[in-house]
Structure 1
């Protein structure tokens, strides 16, 4: 099963949804972070330093735990520490960058998803939805996907090219850094159909004509763009 996301450039990318098990493990890791924080700011002062924190101090120190998911996902590009450990991330189904509003909706509905019935609501929603969405994701238009690439990063990332490398398609200078990033993502995560559509889109933008296979063509596009950018 995969989730297809259409970018603003009309390129379709396929992601593998994070499994229920991976999301649960990410949550458990986040709970370990919670425990570590409580030990650090409450039990150490009380048990080790023999301090007597008042109620205001305790509430103030526990506030970060309340907003942990919201702040982390907002500041860490859709990830909490648990999600980072499990290589999963929150993304928008429309291909855009999740906004603070989207993260806020997910955070508010977490009470229903994960706090009621011991998280059973979220498990049922994710299993039944088909896009890896709990209720908060459905409301925010997000889902959680795996961040690991389907192919080796070495196949598509910028690599050292020989100084004698000759640019085959000079018109790739018509592309932007964002376009090249989309090309790389399509090669990393997309099916052959996605790669083919991406190659066709690049040809439309640049006017390049070639009979090369789509994947081979896009690899040259990346190398040419890298070379031209380095020379400018």
Structure 2
């Protein structure tokens, strides 16, 4: 699997595992099954034959109802990713997530851009079909079959061939899809090996988040290994500022190590 290394504002390098083309394909298939399930059950529940008779053949009204019927499918990936923090049902089941290439949460504009450009990644055939049909060529059938396959596979080949496994919509929106279920070493997580009789010192560490602790731990380990005392001082000052902790440790190393252990104590016991 490909990995992407991102440097945070704290000069910490964080590695993400980029989702493979097959993981994204399986998520895509699951999402299509969700859409088909919606079509099937919604049509069984609100059959168009019933609508046709109840509306006395009012064509415009029937068309309007059909359009409304298809809105949840049309905008499925857009509202799913916005409401589910970069995931659809398929992505969530396969532990995939859309993020900005800088490691941040994409903006709504980013989500809209990558959704809109699905027309290039997966539905380019529709545009090409209109163009070919307007030419009035004699042997259109073979050409249309080729265009259909090409139009549906643009996104697939882009994900397969680009450095960050991005389709066209990802490239323009500056997003990537990552795999969340990484297999990492214990030392690479925010977990700390604490004893059963451990007594915590700083209760205010619960003001910090898991992401804060991951950044703190990675910065702490890097700075300690390189004897970068300036970074340790800055890190300690930032922790004190955010948590309002009154430190009883004179050593920066001891203080940060205690903060890491205390956070694990409080979060694991909740």
* TM-score using structure 1 length: 0.75
1:225 deviates by 3.4
Q: Conserved in 2, the CA contact under 8 Å of 1:11 and 1:198? A: no
Q: Is 1:113 matched with 2:125?
A: no
The structure whose Rg is larger is 2
How many Å separate the matches in 2 of 1:96 and 1:151?
21
Q: Is there any run of 5+ residues in structure 1 with no aligned partner, and where? A: 212-216
**Structure 2 counterpart of 1:222:** 260
SS in 1 for 2:47: helix
How many Å separate the matches in 2 of 1:153 and 1:119?
42
Q: Conserved in 2, the CA contact under 8 Å of 1:87 and 1:148? A: yes
Q: Conserved in 2, the CA contact under 8 Å of 1:73 and 1:103? A: yes
1:173 deviates by 6.2
Q: Is 1:86 matched with 2:119?
A: no
SS in 1 for 2:113: helix
Q: Is there any run of 5+ residues in structure 2 with no aligned partner, and where? A: 53-61, 125-149, 238-250
| Deviation digits for residues 18-72 of structure 1 (CA, Å, limit 9, x no counterpart) | 110110110110001111111122233228xx62252222210101111111100
Equivalent of 1:145, from 178, 184, 188? 178
SS in 2 for 1:204: helix
Q: Conserved in 1, the CA contact under 8 Å of 2:99 and 2:178? A: yes
Higher relative contact order (CA 8 A, sep 6+): 1
SS in 1 for 2:117: helix
Q: Is 1:58 matched with 2:95?
A: no
Q: Conserved in 2, the CA contact under 8 Å of 1:90 and 1:142? A: yes
* TM-score using structure 2 length: 0.65
How many Å separate the matches in 2 of 1:139 and 1:147?
23
Q: Conserved in 2, the CA contact under 8 Å of 1:17 and 1:145? A: yes
